[in-house]
């Protein structure tokens, strides 16, 4: 059975936002929004409606409505920076975007992992490495929504013993 995707988020498109409209048309979506840095593009089609809730160079939060949903829901698309100092700005911004009543989903690349089973290769995982993301999840009241597919979403593309695999793209939910 073929499904038509109604919402798609792309982190790090490696293209200029100048191209965004032609790509929207080529992909057959009705609307597209981008964060200020242009490295996060969210495409969606009717009957979804949207209101931007917040954005930064690391995220874009959108409240979506749909005729078949009893209430709107917020999705925060994330492409986190690699340093803890930069990510602190992200955690603060996401907490500011958190809806009071409606469901909230946070998806994307957090550039962090929570546990040893989210990494293969390289230096052994230290539990302290997952504390930053764990503290944010506790403060935000979100949980890991799970996944299906490949266990790892990122690789450093080095050969043999130098290769490292991690699961960086994760979905979090607060319902």
- pLDDT tens-digit profile of 114-131? 888 888 898 888 888 789
The residue to which tokens 């050969």 are assigned: 159
**Strand, coil or helix: what is 59?**
strand
Average pLDDT over residues 38-49: 91
- How high is the mean pLDDT of the chain? 87
Task: Give strand ranges (E) for 12-133.
Answer: 31-34, 40-44, 49-55, 59-65, 73-79, 104-109, 119-120
Q: What is the pLDDT of residue 1?
A: 47
pLDDT band per the 50, 70, 90 thresholds, residue 5:
low
Q: Which residues pair with 52 in a beta bridge?
A: 62
Tell which residue, 63, 47, 44, 65, has the closest CA to residue 55.
Answer: 63
* Nearby residues of 156 by Cβ (< 8 Å), 6 or more positions away: 162, 163, 164
Helices 131-140 and 84-97, axial angle in degrees (round to 10): 10
Condensed to tens digits (0 to 9), the pLDDT of residues 76-124 reads 999 999 898 999 999 999 999 999 889 999 988 888 888 888 888 988 8
pLDDT band per the 50, 70, 90 thresholds, residue 174:
low
The residue to which tokens 């078949």 are assigned: 68
What percentage of the chain reaches a pLDDT higher than 90?
39
């Amino acid at each position: 059975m073929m499904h038509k995707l109604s919402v798609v988020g792309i982190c790090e498109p490696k293209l200029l936002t100048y191209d965004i409209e032609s790509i929207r048309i080529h992909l057959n979506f009705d609307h597209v929004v981008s964060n200020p840095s242009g490295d996060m593009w969210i495409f969606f089609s009717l009957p979804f409606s949207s209101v931007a809730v917040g954005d930064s160079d690391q995220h874009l939060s959108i409240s979506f409505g749909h005729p078949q949903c009893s209430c709107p829901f917020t999705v925060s698309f994330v492409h986190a920076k690699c340093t803890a100092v930069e990510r602190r700005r992200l955690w603060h911004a996401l907490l500011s975007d958190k809806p009071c009543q409606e469901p909230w989903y946070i998806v994307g690349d957090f550039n962090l992992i929570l546990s040893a089973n989210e990494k293969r290769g390289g230096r052994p995982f230290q539990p302290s490495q997952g504390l930053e993301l764990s503290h944010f999840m506790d403060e935000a009241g979100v949980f890991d929504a799970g996944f299906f597919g490949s266990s790892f979403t990122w690789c450093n593309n080095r050969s043999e013993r130098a290769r490292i695999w991690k699961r960086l793209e994760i979905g979090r939910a607060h319902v």
